[in-house]
Amino acid sequence: MNAELVVSVIGNGFLVLGAVIIASAAIGIIKLPDLYTRTSAIGTAAGLGVALIIVGVVTLDFSVLNFIKGIIAIIAQVLTSAVGSFALARSGYLTGSRPVATTVPDELADSADHDAIDAQRALRDIEGDSPTHET
């Protein structure tokens, strides 16, 4: 067994592992119940899946320059995927995509309800036509 074969097996192993994780994320999009858990599933593909594929490619074609490029690529990929996930989740919440009913506790919904009630009260106080606060 020569060294080239070992490197080839390890490198391709990383590639297959990365592909399996990306495939599981794709299944997760179908299986999971709401936007937020699906975004989490995408996080595995965008983070570990792509990172493993980069590691596999660097192993197959190793040089110091490729190693540095690989590290930069993984860091950039992971950071941008985090910002993207946050933007996706936030815009999803703002446009009214509710979390699945098994999400307990949902402290954001509680807080949002309080804000809505406060806003209604403030509006009524400004209009001043209904002095009774029924809640």
Q: Can you tell me which residue has the tokens 């209604």?
A: 120
Closest approach of other proteins to the CB of residue 47, in Å: 6
Check residue 3 for interaction with other proteins (CB under 8 A). no
Long-range contacts of residues 70-77, Cβ cutoff 8 Å, at least 24 apart: 74/50, 77/46, 77/47, 77/50, 77/51
Tell me which of 43, 53, 55, 59 binds other proteins, using CB under 8 A.
43
Q: By the 8 A CB rule, do 41 and 88 touch?
A: no
* 105 cis-preceded (ω within 30 degrees of 0): yes
Q: By the 8 A CB rule, do 100 and 37 touch?
A: yes
Residues of this chain, 51-90, that bind other proteins according to CB under 8 A: 78-79, 81-83, 85-86, 89-90
Check residue 15 for interaction with other proteins (CB under 8 A). no
What is the binding site for other proteins (CB under 8 A)?
Answer: 21, 24-25, 27-28, 31-34, 36-37, 39-41, 43-44, 47-48, 78-79, 81-83, 85-86, 89-90, 93, 99-100, 102-109, 111
